[in-house]
Amino acid sequence: MGRLHNKVAIITGAASSMGLAAVKLFTQEGAKVVATDIAFEQLQTVTAGMENVLCLTLDVTSEEQWNKVVADAKSAFGKVDILINNAGVSFHKTLLEETLEGWNRTVNLNLTSVFLGLQSVIPAMQENGGGSIVNCVSLAAVIGSADNGAAAYAAAKGGVRALSKHAAVNFAKDNIRVNSVYPGAILTGAAERHGVTDRAVLGKAFEGIIPLPPFAGEALDIANGYLYLASDESKFVTGEELIIDGGWSSK
């Protein structure tokens, strides 16, 4: 029996990288997955042939679309047990380079999106008698030198860190757990868009910074963290921060 047997999970940013790795892993572990992304055609393509996956369009900054996703999840599968707030985007603008427009866009995509996800999903979990929420934060919320100059991104992810702890404390009475995963240097679609398509190549840039070879992680490393926090194996864990960074933050 899978580690997520009889669980229903909503995963954002599911069309690629860490989100897609989570969709594959969660279904393998017995979950029914509502896979969401704004890139809907890509999402359908990469999940084609997968069982127990419902693909839905989701702009994570849209309250209306969030509410529809939750309603559709309940209609299709009867409940929502798990939310993986995986979607996020980094724009590399320093504090003095950033514009107000860019700041607002980054905060909306990385922080407001999580706020909307919590607001829409928590009532459904209260109906169930509990659930697990996992928010993807970033090492940029912990280490000032880890944001690659992306001031608004670091600030937004710091907000997700605080919001996660707030929700963990305030909804523990409902048996709703809220935890966070903090990726370090991970080979993702963002890295690939910058021409880095191999984990070894990404690792070379972090040799001497990250202690653990090959000095960079892969999407499955993060998906495994999501899985632990989503599953009943972590039933007495809430408000915690799982850092997956090869020892970067320890150094």
| pLDDT of 191 | 65
Domains of the chain as residue ranges with CATH = 8-188+218-244 (3.40.50.720)
What mean pLDDT is predicted for residues 175-181?
98
> Binning pLDDT at 50, 70 and 90, where does residue 20 land?
very high
Active site amino acids = 153
What mean pLDDT is predicted for residues 15-41?
98
| pLDDT of 63 | 98
The CA-based diameter of the chain, rounded to the nearest angstrom, is 53
Structure tokens at 27: 């279904």
First to last CA, the chain: 39
Burial 103-136 (b: 16+ CB within 10 A, else e): beebbbbbbbbbbbbbebbbebbeebeebbbbbb
What mean pLDDT is predicted for residues 74-96?
95
> Binning pLDDT at 50, 70 and 90, where does residue 121 land?
very high
pLDDT at 18 over 70: yes
| pLDDT of 190 | 66
| pLDDT of 192 | 65
pTM: 0.96
The verdict on whether omega for the bond into residue 214 sits within 30 degrees of 0, i.e. cis, is: yes
What mean pLDDT is predicted for residues 49-69?
98
Closest C-alpha among 53, 58, 47 to residue 20: 47
pLDDT at 1 over 70: no
| pLDDT of 147 | 76
| pLDDT of 76 | 98
pLDDT tens for residues 210-250?
999 999 999 999 999 999 999 999 999 999 999 999 999 99
Question: Tokens 């939310």 sit at which residue?
Answer: 83
- What percent of the chain clears pLDDT 70, i.e. is strictly above it? 96
Region of residue 103 (phi > 0: left; psi between -120 and 50: alpha; otherwise: beta): alpha
pLDDT tens for residues 133-147?
999 999 999 998 887
- Residue pair 246/185 in contact (Cβ under 8 Å)? The answer is yes
